[in-house]
Copies of this chain bind each other. A is one copy, B any other.
Amino acid sequence: MEGDLQRAVGRNLREYRLARGLSQEAFAEVVGVHRTYMGGLERGERNLTLKSVERIAERIAVDPLELMHIPPD
């Protein structure tokens, strides 16, 4: 469904952050985005480009395809 990928990215980023006990603000710095952007990103509201996904994935050293992988419930 359209939007599934960006929602998967958001969910995976949130899981990654919580697993490390980081605040959204601290994580925004890690990822290299503005802190006000981070919330929308985690909620899957940002229509990311492939290059943005690659940049974010590189910052947290994960595979970009893994970052878009829809996690099982």
A interface residues, Cβ below 8 angstroms from B: 1-6, 9, 47-51, 53-55, 58, 64-65, 68-69
Q: Kindly list chain B residues whose C-beta atoms are within 8 Å of the C-beta of A53.
A: 5, 50
Given A47-B49, A48-B49, A49-B47: A4 and B54 within 8 A (CB)?
yes
> Which residue on B lies nearest to A70, using beta carbons?
B65
Chain A contact residues, majority secondary structure:
helix
> Which residue on B lies nearest to A69, using beta carbons?
B65
- In the complex, are the beta carbons of B54 and A5 less than 8 A apart? yes
A-B contacts besides A49-B49, A68-B68, 18 pairs, CB < 8 Å: A1-B54, A2-B54, A2-B55, A3-B54, A4-B54, A4-B64, A5-B50, A5-B51, A5-B54, A5-B64, A6-B50, A47-B51, A48-B50, A49-B50, A50-B50, A50-B53, A50-B68, A65-B65
